[in-house]
A and B are shown apart, each in its own frame.
Chain A
Amino acid sequence: MKKKSLVIISTICALTCAFSFAACGGNNNDPTTTGTLKKDENGNVIFEDVEFKLMSVVSGTDKQPFLEMIESFNKTHRGEINVVVDTLYNDTFDETVQGQIKNRLNPPDLIMSHSSGHLNYLDNKLIQPFDEAIELSGITIDMKDYAQGFAKYSDLGKIGSLYSIPTDAQSTIIMYNKILLAKYSETVPVSRAEWLTVSESAKTGEGKEPILMSTTDGSTRDYIFPTAYLQNGGTMYSSDNHAEWSSNATNLDAMKKAIISIRELDTKGLMKKGLSKEAVSAKFVADEALFYIVTPWEVTEIMTNYAKAHGKTLAQVKAEDIGAMSTSKMFAMDANSANAEKIFCDSHGFMMSTTVTDINKKAAMLEFIKWFTETGTVGASWAEAGHISLSNIINGDSAYQQNDFVQNYISKFYPDINKLEGLGNTPLANTMTSCFGQILTDALKNNTDTQDAAIIAEQQKKYNEAYDFSKM
């Protein structure tokens, strides 16, 4: 019996070892292209019942409008192209999709996810460039037509290739109480100086909270501090992908100014730190505050709560009570700096899985991407769901410009899409976001700047350590 058990255990061990060693070498995943394209006399591709699977990270309140947009595409392309959509939450998105592609288990053909994570797909050879499909199909997608802050990263570091097509972005905005603001200013502030002056007046005038921002909420923190850093002239990382926040004099200066630009709000008594998201939201809804720094996807909820609390309709609240303005220039210590208008954004983008080989499918995906990123009405619908288009074509389209939501909100939140910046091509987007957030959290614990340099140096070390480990 003992002998038998030993034999069974040894067999399992041997098989497991053999299986794991079989994982070494071979298995080249280089994508290929199969099939031929049918074209009409003008050289346009003729699609005949081409279907592809799109996996999207859009899974919140914006999911329904997204699905409706896809449905409208499918309707207009009936018999030609059919897009099958599946969505997943961000927390598990990359891990799941990468596993699906790697194991060839129901992999998506087209992936729509946060651009900051795209480099990892390329590093692990899970995506292929769009260039060949563009060349063969003649369906052009030119990165000159997209916001430069994001288009410049579309090659994911492989110069001359197109791996990641940016679609839309989002960042923090500043909501304001229209009635309170009217008491202290005739216009909406457009610079930091104006913003602070109005806030000072509100503080001394009625004793209201001038500015609300939850310093205990990660999402607000993760957008606002990189925005402040960019507006003060900082760069995210060096050409070799290492962080130089502390070791580079310009970056260190930008970091220190970014911290001061937020700490100053507290030391001047304009903003209370340590408040939770729920607490600041409740204060704003109760007319106890003038400005509220918030993520755009919370706007509708806050307005709805405000309407309920004051017995008004949503339309009335939008028209009479709550407005919104941009964070552009609000954290720049030098208002005349060329960087002062920059806003840090997170963006969505499209990628093509290595599992796709059929040229008809590849061309159909290009047709869909072109529709999604270059059609004015589509851009307007997507803007209403809280996403600003990164396409200059959409931004220049009259249907988009005349949209009510775009006119009243989007264009006020983000005046110039070419001033928007993302994390770019770092393989460690999560680590970088976490390090940035940590700098602000740690720095705000002190009322002076004595510890700032050490805090920045610690986080630079942490990021570079993680980067070196990823490349070890």
Chain B
Amino acid sequence: MARNNEKTVALKKSKRREVFLALALMSPYIITFVLFTFIPVILGVVFSFMRYNPYLPEDNVFIGFQNYLNIFNFDLEITKTFWGSFGTMFVFTAVAVPCLIIIPLALAYFVNMQPPGYKIFRALIYLPSVVSISIMGILFGNMFAGDGTGLINAWLGTNIEWLSGKPWQGDTLRWVVMLIASIWWQTGTNFVIFSGALRNVPKSLYEACEMDGGRKWKKILYVTLPNIKTSVTICLFNTLIGYLALYGQPYTLSDLSNADEMVSPMMFIQYYLGQSAFAKQTGFLCACAIVFGIISMIFGAVQRGAMADRKQQSKYETNCKSYLKNRALLYGDINEEKAEVDYE
């Protein structure tokens, strides 16, 4: 009995040590997360229910849902600007996100076939991801500058205003440039994830597919895609959330005609929060941020729901299991009941 107690105490001690070690290892992240993400989010939520001016604490008052009501009061011009900032951002996200899944996936697929020099290609594709968005903006801003100094214009011998125009008013070229820049800059990140996932697809499944007479496209459709679904989901989620928070591309790829146009909710919030003249509206801007956060979460949830694993196995995984089950039954390795459980 005493020995049992000693064992239990030793076990508890060892568990406690494990927990302590885990916490110690996680603490840098936990502290940073709590200080710079969790607490600011809670503060943001609280401020969104207040008329809050960080400079004048004596004027701060709790006003309930007034800021949220203002966000949906379309008689206010600022409300129209806030919701207007979603427009072009949604269209860009709808175009950019599929591009940033399909292109890295295609590249990863071809590089995974290990053509000559594939290691160089792999490095070259990933390289742009290393630079910051400011560098990306400077590079593409100089390439697509509208005046005589633009490299593309110089090369084409044209004087196209690539980066000018206002939202829905002649700014299509600007969004195309942003799309090209985004693909160049961000393909590498998703490419690495897809490359890893593609290498982990079991070769036996491809062989099974081949035995069934499956050719290249069928292999992609019935073997590759179902087996990299988790990676696609992760990339899709990260890219979607990243593009809903669009800021850097329109900020860096602009010219004098649209430098102050707020083409995304992040730009709207940052523009006003960055000026002390609007300090009194901190509460309203926090409410805008919360509403924007909720909308992003809804998009994220819808995407996750659509991509959720509904326990559908690929055709070749099912066939393989069925084959193994039949073989085990034929050789009498297991009985019917156990086979049902093992090969379910």
A98 to B260, CA, bound (A): 23
Main secondary structure of the interface of A (DSSP, over half): helix
Convert A12-47 into 0s and 1s, putting 1 for each residue whose CB lies closer than 8 angstroms to a CB of B: 110011011101111111000000000000000000
A434 to B39, CA, bound (A): 35
The answer to whether A124 and B62 have CB atoms under 8 Å apart is: no
**CB-CB contacts below 8 Å: B50-66 with A:** 50, 52-58, 60-62
**CB-CB contacts below 8 Å: B121-168 with A:** 145-149, 159
Selected from A12, A124, A218, A438, the residue in CB contact (under 8 A) with B55 is A124
The answer to whether A221 and B256 have CB atoms under 8 Å apart is: yes
The answer to whether B257 and A438 have CB atoms under 8 Å apart is: yes
Which one, B171-179, B238-246, B279-287, is touching chain A? B279-287
The answer to whether A430 and B54 have CB atoms under 8 Å apart is: no
The answer to whether A468 and B57 have CB atoms under 8 Å apart is: no
Selected from A29, A95, A465, A468, the residue in CB contact (under 8 A) with B276 is A95
Which one, A200-208, A273-281, A405-413, is touching chain B? A273-281
The residues of B that contact A472 with a CB separation of less than 8 Å are 70, 76, 78, 280-281, 284
**CB-CB contacts below 8 Å: A207-251 with B:** 216, 218, 221
A274 to B150, CA, bound (A): 12
**CB-CB contacts below 8 Å: B1-60 with A:** 34, 38-39, 42-43, 46-47, 50, 52-58, 60
Selected from A20, A24, A434, the residue in CB contact (under 8 A) with B260 is A434
Does B72 reach chain A (CB closer than 8 Å)? Answer: no
The answer to whether A23 and B39 have CB atoms under 8 Å apart is: no
- Residue of chain B at shortest CB distance from A24: B60
Does B274 reach chain A (CB closer than 8 Å)? Answer: yes
The answer to whether A20 and B55 have CB atoms under 8 Å apart is: no
A94 to B256, CA, bound (A): 23
Does A178 reach chain B (CB closer than 8 Å)? Answer: no
- Residue of chain A at shortest CB distance from B256: A441
State how many angstroms separate the Cβ of B26 from the closest Cβ of chain A. Answer: 13
State how many angstroms separate the Cβ of B147 from the closest Cβ of chain A. Answer: 4
Convert A77-106 into 0s and 1s, putting 1 for each residue whose CB lies closer than 8 angstroms to a CB of B: 000000000000000001100100010000
A470 to B33, CA, bound (A): 32
The residues of A that contact B53 with a CB separation of less than 8 Å are 124
Convert B230-253 into 0s and 1s, putting 1 for each residue whose CB lies closer than 8 angstroms to a CB of A: 000000000000000000000000
A438 to B260, CA, bound (A): 9
The answer to whether B43 and A16 have CB atoms under 8 Å apart is: yes
The answer to whether A95 and B274 have CB atoms under 8 Å apart is: yes
- Interface size band for A: 35 or more
State how many angstroms separate the Cβ of A380 from the closest Cβ of chain B. Answer: 35
Selected from B55, B146, B272, the residue in CB contact (under 8 A) with A274 is B146
Does A53 reach chain B (CB closer than 8 Å)? Answer: no
Does A349 reach chain B (CB closer than 8 Å)? Answer: no
Given contacts A124-B279, A276-B145, A441-B256, contact A12 B60 (CB under 8 A): no
The answer to whether A279 and B149 have CB atoms under 8 Å apart is: yes
Does A442 reach chain B (CB closer than 8 Å)? Answer: yes
Convert B97-117 into 0s and 1s, putting 1 for each residue whose CB lies closer than 8 angstroms to a CB of A: 000000000000000000000
Does B342 reach chain A (CB closer than 8 Å)? Answer: no
Does B340 reach chain A (CB closer than 8 Å)? Answer: no
State how many angstroms separate the Cβ of B190 from the closest Cβ of chain A. Answer: 33
The residues of A that contact B39 with a CB separation of less than 8 Å are 12, 16
Does A318 reach chain B (CB closer than 8 Å)? Answer: no
A334 to B62, CA, bound (A): 55
**CB-CB contacts below 8 Å: B251-294 with A:** 255-257, 259-260, 272, 274-281, 284
Does B81 reach chain A (CB closer than 8 Å)? Answer: yes
Convert A442-471 into 0s and 1s, putting 1 for each residue whose CB lies closer than 8 angstroms to a CB of B: 100100000000000000010001001111
The residues of B that contact A401 with a CB separation of less than 8 Å are none
- Residue of chain B at shortest CB distance from A276: B147
The residues of B that contact A26 with a CB separation of less than 8 Å are 57-58
A279 to B153, CA, bound (A): 15
Does A388 reach chain B (CB closer than 8 Å)? Answer: no
The answer to whether B43 and A20 have CB atoms under 8 Å apart is: yes
A9 to B55, CA, bound (A): 29
State how many angstroms separate the Cβ of A320 from the closest Cβ of chain B. Answer: 30
The answer to whether B255 and A126 have CB atoms under 8 Å apart is: no
Does A422 reach chain B (CB closer than 8 Å)? Answer: no
The residues of A that contact B70 with a CB separation of less than 8 Å are 472
A29 to B53, CA, bound (A): 14
Given contacts A17-B46, A24-B60, A27-B57, contact A94 B276 (CB under 8 A): yes
The answer to whether A120 and B57 have CB atoms under 8 Å apart is: no
Most chain A C-beta atoms within 10 Å of own C-beta, residue among B43, B58, B159? B58
Does A322 reach chain B (CB closer than 8 Å)? Answer: no
- Residue of chain B at shortest CB distance from A442: B257
**CB-CB contacts below 8 Å: B290-334 with A:** none
Given contacts A125-B55, A276-B145, contact A430 B275 (CB under 8 A): yes
The residues of A that contact B77 with a CB separation of less than 8 Å are 461, 465, 468-469
16 A–B contacts from the bound complex (CB under 8 Å)? A12-B38, A16-B43, A16-B46, A20-B42, A23-B54, A23-B57, A24-B50, A24-B57, A123-B277, A124-B53, A124-B279, A125-B55, A216-B255, A431-B277, A441-B257, A470-B277
| Supplied contacts A95-B276, A470-B280, 6 more A-B pairs, CB within 8 Å | A20-B42, A20-B50, A216-B256, A274-B148, A437-B256, A445-B257
Binding site for A on B (CB under 8 A): 34, 38-39, 42-43, 46-47, 50, 52-58, 60-62, 70, 76-78, 81, 145-149, 159, 255-257, 259-260, 272, 274-281, 284
Q: Which 10 A-B pairs have the closest CB atoms?
A: A124-B55, A465-B77, A20-B46, A16-B42, A24-B60, A427-B277, A469-B78, A276-B147, A120-B276, A27-B57
